[in-house]
Amino acid sequence: MALEIERKFLVRGDFRPDVVNSTRIQQGYLCSAPERCVRVRLTGDQGFLTIKGGTSTSGLTRYEWEHQLPVTEALELLSLCEPGRIEKVRHRVDFAGKTFEVDEFGGDNQGLMIAELELEFEDEPFERPGWLGQEVTGDARYYNSSLIRKPYRDW
Amino acid sequence: MALEIERKFLVRGDFRPDVVNSTRIQQGYLCSAPERCVRVRLTGDQGFLTIKGGTSTSGLTRYEWEHQLPVTEALELLSLCEPGRIEKVRHRVDFAGKTFEVDEFGGDNQGLMIAELELEFEDEPFERPGWLGQEVTGDARYYNSSLIRKPYRDW
């Protein structure tokens, strides 16, 4: 059983000088329920099917199952997904020995940027870059599965 | 892209003399929407994750994607599923060169038996065994994903 421990933050400054690489991502949901989401993602030339459980009471830990897909299968499964699609560019940003993933959303979520940091344990310390804004870990509005139903444009 | 062509029938007589083997199956749904169902199945010591699209207008053809799972992963994913679980014994029944799968349901669907026949093409001819009852192909009430929400006991 894989558990991911992740903290999420808004972005309030310019992270671009620290970007290592950037990848375009499109993803849809076969199921976007917060307690059992089934995601289809196409990132560059790789597809992934990912199943996530609900978050722990702390909001940081979540069961995750993942399987790699050929692009053709990812496209077939994307066509079955619920209406709505997440489009974003994911920037890998290295800072003080840690890797942040900054998602810059497009489409109906244009203007939203979220930084994610994966940790080994829940209270692991890390250095905050200057562009890191308010923490939104566990705030369901910022789940990608929520942004499909209620995009940032409509907030 | 895999398409399954399948006809479904009620069972009105004794198919047991033609049974080749029988396997206990438990399955749950991460998503039970008719147009995109995501099923987790444990059959004997094999797990499967299966994604099905909606049926064609004829009700016979359906997109299907399947991935085999280790038992531990199947049990983890079953624990994430929507409330309700299908329990059944699947009997393989050979008749006149064709293989029927007869599902004998348990739990809340006790008393229901459905025979399925997979075909190569939609109007492929086949010989009907005496125990084969009314055809229910395309009748959504008999989908396993529907039987979780509205089990046979409550009909």
- CATH code assigned to A2-154: 2.40.320.10
Ranges of chain B with pLDDT below 50: none
Contact check, Cβ <8 Å, A36/B51: no
Q: How far is B80 from chain A (nearest CA, A)?
A: 6
* Average pLDDT value over all residues in chain A: 92
A98-125 pLDDT, tens digit each: 999 999 999 999 999 999 999 988 889 9
pTM for this model (two decimals): 0.80
Contact check, Cβ <8 Å, A30/B53: no
A94: which strand partners? A99
Q: How far is B141 from chain A (nearest CA, A)?
A: 21
SS3 for B18? helix
Specify the higher pLDDT residue, A60 or A30. A30
A23-48 pLDDT, tens digit each: 999 999 999 988 899 999 999 899 99
The answer to whether A20 contacts chain B (CB < 8 Å) is: no
For B33-61, give one letter per residue: b (16+ CB within 10 A) or e: eeebbbbbbbeeeebbbebbbebeeeebb
The answer to whether A36 contacts chain B (CB < 8 Å) is: yes
Residue A2 has pLDDT above 70, yes or no: no
